[in-house]
Amino acid sequence: MSSLLEMSAEYRKALYSKFTIIGHFNFLEFDENFSLLEEHLAKIKKDQFSSADRIIIEHMDTDFYLPDFPYGFSLYNLITAFVTVDIPLFTLLLFTNHFGIEKELELLLAAHDQFDRPTVISSFISTLHYSSEYENHNINTDAIEVPGIAMMGAGRVHRDVLASFINNNNLLDVIATAYHNK
């Protein structure tokens, strides 16, 4: 089980009591390296899966979309990893804050066996909802003197694209930008 999990303890308890959880991962662990997911999946692959076996993937983040690509690029890579390792898709339990992702899965899996589909649980409830560290901040937007954006932390496709757009359009003097901790 991952140390980056965002699923609340209550959700985890309910799912672990209903299913046999054979893997539990946060999407952020591999969203830049799907071969890492394939390695994880290969380690837990069985010759035969029971109907109760599940692999939880917590997808509590946005996806990246290309023009004329009807589903998220990372969702496509996630499904491709399961197919590549030859693990049935019914074992995938996708816990997400992306409401409507089922429509993307329908398009992505149109040619796939209709009975071998992931289970999707859409929820905004995560450990953040129970965190004592969370504080609501009232911001006076009229006091903003310079627009800015912070894209800190690990490199992510959407951050890379936005930083490139800002840079390529000479907006760095107009928008204060923090990118990759710089």
In tens, the pLDDT along 125-162 reads 554 444 455 566 677 778 877 778 777 655 566 677 78
pLDDT of residue 62: 66
- Judge whether 90 and 116 are in contact, CB under 8 Å: yes
Instruction: For the chain, give the mean pLDDT.
Output: 83
How many angstroms separate the CA atoms of 6 and 25, rounded? Answer: 10
pLDDT of residue 105: 93
Question: pTM of the predicted model, to two decimals?
Answer: 0.69
Mean pLDDT of 23-32: 87
pLDDT of residue 129: 45
Distances (CA, A) of 30 to 4, 21, 26, 161, 178: 12, 19, 8, 19, 24
Query: Where exactly are the structural domains of the chain?
Result: 9-130, 145-179
Please compute, for residue 111, the number of CA atoms within 13 A of its CA located in the half-sphere on the CB side. Answer: 2
How many angstroms separate the CA atoms of 119 and 14, rounded? Answer: 15
Q: Which of 79, 133, 134, 84 is nearest to 110 (CA)?
A: 79
pLDDT of residue 73: 85
| pLDDT tens column, 81-112 | 999 999 999 999 999 887 788 999 999 999 99
How many angstroms separate the CA atoms of 27 and 30, rounded? Answer: 6
